[in-house]
Amino acid sequence: MSALVRAEGVHKHYGRNHVLKGIDLSLEEGQVMCLVGPSGSGKSTFLRCVNHLEAINRGRLWVDGELIGYRQSAEALHELGDKEVCRQRERIGMVFQSFNLFPHYTALENVALGPSLVKKESRAAATAHAEELLRRVGLGDKLHSYPARLSGGQQQRVAIARALAMRPRLMLFDEPTSALDPELVGEVLDVMRGLAGDGMTMIVVTHEMAFAREVGDTLVFMDDGVIVESGDPREVLARPRHQRTQAFLSKVL
């Protein structure tokens, strides 16, 4: 099977708060999955589990054919060492709502830093690649700008370039345009659309339904820790089968 991400019965608790209640999904290489749902439904938690920022409590989660470290409440069935986790995480790029660029580094330095530190790429190679990526996100003229001199949309595009610099196999986006002024949303979505067109495998948490409809291969609607329904975004958006999906869509569409 060629699924790049596969979840089977994934559960996650924070203390007594049962946040993920048996998530099953699979994402093929080169596909875009849009994850939507009300605030608090567990979308960010799921991304954090995929990216090893959280351990799952039950079920199984594979990325790129490898099992992600998990614990089964009583018995620790399998726990990956730190080194192994680092190696797996290198293949996953993540972009958050807040851009979190290093304020004292230029755009170019922000993008080149990871590969030279973590991947031990030569400074010259990392810089050349960073420059290429910044051009790809439309910031070829901002290489030496500091984040404070960039708009929110430009900063988010630097953050995308920074994630791409690690040459990920999978990109996770957690509401990447939610913190942006409305007129800056389009430029970030355009970059993401381009990435999808180039064949990047992506999971995108978003409230941008037009983007989901146009770019998504699947739309997954989550509510209260479960997947309520999923399918072709055009289908789900036009004919939601569940009342909870209808109620949510009536608010965001």
With CB under 6 A, what is the number of residues at the site for ligand ADP?
Answer: 11
CB of 114 to Mg ion, least distance (A): 23
Query: Are 113 and 86 in contact, with CB atoms under 8 Å apart?
Result: no
State yes or no: residue 206 binds ligand ADP (CB under 6 A).
no
- One character per residue 41-60, x = contact with ligand ADP (rule: CB under 6 A): xxxxx---------------
Q: Percentage helix, strand, coil, to 5, in the chain?
A: 40, 25, 35
Which residue lies nearer to ligand ADP by CB, 127 or 177? 177
Residue 140's binding partner, choosing from ligand ADP, Mg ion, none, with beta-carbon cut-off 5 to 8 A by kind?
Answer: none
Residues 34/43, Cβ–Cβ less than 8 Å: no
Judge contact between 93 and 170, C-beta under 8 A. Answer: yes
Q: Does 230 bind ligand ADP (CB under 6 A)?
A: no
Helix and strand numbers (H, E) in the chain are 9, 10
Instruction: Figure out which of the listed residues 1, 2, 39, 243 binds ligand ADP, where binding follows CB under 6 A.
Output: 39
Task: Write down the least CB distance from residue 96 to ligand ADP, Å.
Answer: 11
Q: Please tell me whether residue 252 binds ligand ADP under the rule CB under 6 A.
A: no
Rule CB under 6 A: say whether 250 interacts with ligand ADP. no
Residue 177, token pair as written in the block: 């345009």
Q: By CB neighbour count within 10 A (0-12 exposed, 13-18 middle, 19+ buried), where does 141 fall?
A: exposed
Rounded-to-integer distance, Cα 55 and Cα 45, Å? 10
Residue type, 204: V
Q: Does 44 bind Mg ion (CB under 5 A)?
A: yes
Q: Does 45 bind Mg ion (CB under 5 A)?
A: no
Query: Interface with ligand ADP by CB under 6 A: which residues?
Result: 14, 17, 19, 37, 39-45
